[in-house]
Amino acid sequence: MSKIQKEFYLRTDTLVIAKELLGKVLCTSFRGISTSGIICETEAYCGTEDRGSHAFGGRFTERTKIMYAEGGVSYVYLCYGIHHMFNVVTHVEAVPHAVLVRAIQPLEGIEHMLRRRKKKESTPVLGAGPGIAAECLGIKTKHNGLSLTGSEIWIEDRGIPVGDIVESARVGMSFEGPYKTIPWRFRIAGSAYTSRAK
């Protein structure tokens, strides 16, 4: 197993990074509890031109400033007051690109995931969705800004074969224009662990 290094995230083509993250293993280790899962679905948010991005138009606030940091850190954001979204910040400093992890296939620590989700075994797709994938791994807003090359959150390349990648429009875009339908959502074809297609 090899942990992905900072150079991976510093590259400038966020779409390529989003696709390459598919099949990688997202790992967390908080307070001695370790969980991990294969990334099955991602979504790219690219900079100030992207209407769907929090950094659209160059917005720079307390919440979004972490997107302007150097690639290789986490951006965790609470949505609808309920769900934690886990993003990977990419690109060099001052360019607000990020990749949202939308779905994982649970690998290790599944019993912890079930406890966090308050489920027995009722949900067949434990990590299929941006909010619940983060919840499975125990990621909360307090983990915003953590380095992905540290010892609490990291991503490994275990050489898992990916196969075909399906591109589609992003979800939750409540505006009109080209960025509403641009295919910046990527998922592993045929995976049962991705969130449902629209």
Residue 117 zone, left/alpha/beta (φ > 0; ψ -120 to 50; rest): alpha
Q: In Å, what is the CA distance from 84 to each residue of 4, 93, 104, 137?
A: 23, 24, 14, 11
Q: Which tokens sit at 95?
A: 């360019």
Member of 7, 32, 81, 190 binding DNA (CB under 7 A): 81
Of 93 and 163, which CB lies nearer to DNA in the complex structure? 93
Of 28 and 74, which CB lies nearer to DNA in the complex structure? 74
Rule CB under 7 A: is residue 54 a binding residue for DNA? yes
Reported in sequence order, the residue ranges of the chain that DSSP labels E, i.e. its strands, are 2-3, 25-30, 33-46, 74-79, 83-90, 97-108, 153-157, 165-168, 185-188
What is the phi/psi pair of residue 90, to 5°? -125, -175
Rule CB under 7 A: is residue 131 a binding residue for DNA? yes
Rule CB under 7 A: is residue 67 a binding residue for DNA? yes
Of 52 and 72, which CB lies nearer to DNA in the complex structure? 52
Rule CB under 7 A: is residue 184 a binding residue for DNA? no
Rule CB under 7 A: is residue 114 a binding residue for DNA? no
Rule CB under 7 A: is residue 14 a binding residue for DNA? no
- Residue 55 carries which side chain, given as an amino acid letter? A
The residues of the shown chain that bind DNA, judged by CB under 7 A, are 43, 45, 52-54, 59, 61-64, 67, 75, 77-83, 85, 87, 98, 100, 117, 123, 129-133, 141, 170-174, 195
